[in-house]
Structure 1
């Protein structure tokens, strides 16, 4: 990004927790400022025009798309950190990349040389594959949105046009920069991933030759060429010419996906020049592993969530328990909703503090709060966690003491005494935690964390990393299979992976994950994975084979955002929360819903948990409106 200029009179100096220190630039969607977090971390803050939020459902749709942007894998992109439209000035916060744009560099130095062009092609294709995997269409891929940082190219503003569209602009409105737009965009049709692939190819032609493939003269002339003429690729290096030509097909269906494009680039051989080795640069080897694995299967799975994040609410799984049968009070609200948070509830767990049954909720306001699960009354003071955002909470035991484990962005893990709230010294390193699970490994209390680059097993007492496996993951759980303890992950490559918790050895072949959040259960004596799918249904898969178990569970009218499992009177149950603002309960044995949908939250349900108080099963949910609610199960 260009060096920030001084703030002008009337520019905001503070937005939420972010102090604004300079002006980066302005555009049709808003103004970009240089800012800092409370800890001094530099960020880019884009303040959006308020006119984008005039529709009645703008807030829900806006946060739906921002949540998707947060779960884009961070390699090759500037990750989305935060967003808020409750202020008079709605804004989106992203990672600050210290580097100039591709547009500025080419205009200053001319076309890129062969090596730089190869690195650019692979890095930006990897970013595009990650963006599409999160269910996002960039809509405005162009040289100005590619920043050349010290660690390689970074794609920015992914999904911003989609966020703005979600917040209230008409779907038919043409958005983008004409010279880099696809034929379908110019025709006023809603762009899909193939449109981004077209824009990527035009961007690469600019990097290779200094001008876009369809020229840069008058807008009408450029638009006419995009719609009806073939691209000018004569000066593009021969090794890339065929790839770009395929990506610039007029028919979106004829273009390769970003995942296939990436694999083609990685294995591309020179069509005319002498071979110069692989196109994949060394800096990208580890970061691209997740994308290339999925691409090898000729598809990128689009997960449901999140968080990660970036900030995606973690669905907290309840341990199986023998509960009473469902009575006539099913779905009856208990107490009053706890409303102590000033922002949405991001994660939730249940526990007993002393003799008091409590819900432990983590909010966007950066606090963890305890509330009486029966009455909704606050218990004790708020606990502040020094993280950019809290992604997950869970309970553990250290020498008979109940320990609250929090995971978040920037802080890593943070431990405290559940009852007193006092912080517990922990040797873990800072970093990003997207999800976590507290478990026992060979009798030793551990916390298993899912991050952007690896899944780690960490000693709960010392913070020592005992094991690191695989690439990044958006969710994690532990189970037993074949007589051994295994780690189960919803990986960033769109697959379910299983790892031996002792050796780190892969267990079986990975299989496609329905979504990016998962819970584990047992159905008819078989371990299963439970997850939401992009069609709003709940899916159950055999943990050993990945084969579907029964039919999909329809019912929700929007994405499933949280999943938990438990056992009720010997029957395996799944509990789901959704963007439609309801909670549903499913009998995994019969394949039928249990009772009707539970409603009440104003906004989507971010997290769910199941507990038992005085022999009565209870269902607890956190939501976008900042409340924690309890129903009889």
Structure 2
């Protein structure tokens, strides 16, 4: 919960806006009170979408569905205006955390509590299915837990029966809870939601999904080829859960049959203590008290009333610690992280105060709050998409996940700092400033910039759905892309947060890099067009087509040479800035696979690239088509060996070329690899 700023509305329809609950790709969610004092979660659509007839149509359909399926276990729509100048809807405010957060904070639920939970979710899904609709994204994060029972939310991607894809043709859903038929791009149905329900029950009982965690590709592979892990599921519920998680959709029960096995429809509980174990019930009671205090303190506070803002910030920090979650149809925004700050001037003269150094040592200049978090809870920062990068001096490895950013002394395997974050995507992809003082990452609510030594966490260009971000070579500005912008890359002043220039190109960049000499900016858009601009003039000096655009790095540099992956799976070596083609690196990969991510280590005379097919590609031997290829940089000769480590991605070469850091297919710890022999040295995290 955040205090309002001057840019936030004071009223939406008849609702008086009290605080900001979250920011998502399509709009913002506010805490509002109606004329009769009813507290609501008010979802207001972003202005740019208000002029899109297609979006208005989708919003109206979402609203219509949410109204039709309302019952005791789905939040009720209180009011809405899909045809207004700015479309909005208000739903019941769920005072409690998501099931995901509740289990993480208080542990797995008892069998009795899970039976009650399952009956409520099954009843809610039954209403959805009776309307000829499939939810398509049931997961622990889309089940809110209130004192009266579960509340199923997020009908934003719900679709008609038999439709397994979004409007752009992509599979939709969340890895870990997607049914096998959806993974295979086959039409789904109501039983696809039943598969997800089985996964949610397993999570509630054990604290882990039935197909584990890790990289989405690995999880999806397990879903289609492995049996679920049901360790911790009581014998009395194991047959039901097993039936829900059947690979064959025809063998799964209906939601009605699930509801009957669990005991039939059940009325909402009178209190949290009536159905939840004591630790979970206590958390909900504490959450309710804290939210009431937060609402009362924000009712008449002016946005510039600093004392009121500070009171709200303090309460907000307590709420976050308690795991409180407030959501309307799953629009969740990033939350800033605050840490203890050293007193100005205690660390030396001008330019050496915390937050104003000319150069920082991430192993030493770190906020006490981040260091304390690492000591108390040393762990990998989440389970999705760990993305390693080295500090400029090479001493610290920074890795981003779906719940935080960790800083490790990779030589000693010691976690130095842990920065807790919230992100809408699979995880933060951190970049480190040239002076080593700041970490930035892109998210759907803006450009996040963290000053590591002070703990200051700013969101620049707030409300902008940022695709990717990079620091400029001088460290004084940031480069980012916004898919709604007319420019490929936007330059942002780091101090003021204002846009200072545009790099024009055919489309918003999916990957942004600066050349080693700092003289040029490189961007690759979604259509595979690579553009090279001169820094200062921002003039285009080179354009190449047919470049691969995927997650990870598709561009690498060695001096004045650039290496990029083509869409047909070759690696091209080019001189800069003239674009002269110097050669190619090719390798034989199994049918269905192609080279993707690339990295260069000049000292070891190595070029690396992973290969993979689609998210789920298998051979006749039922093995995934993933792996890594290695070449001699000087000769172009492939030197891949059978003893090399297997598929790795998010390749990060040490600034001094000492090691190669990467993430294995199971997204377990980050691997540290010998760059010449391609053998595992260590695991971090």
Using the size of structure 2 for normalisation, the TM-score is: 0.43
Q: Which has the higher contact order (CA 8 A, sep 6+)?
A: 1
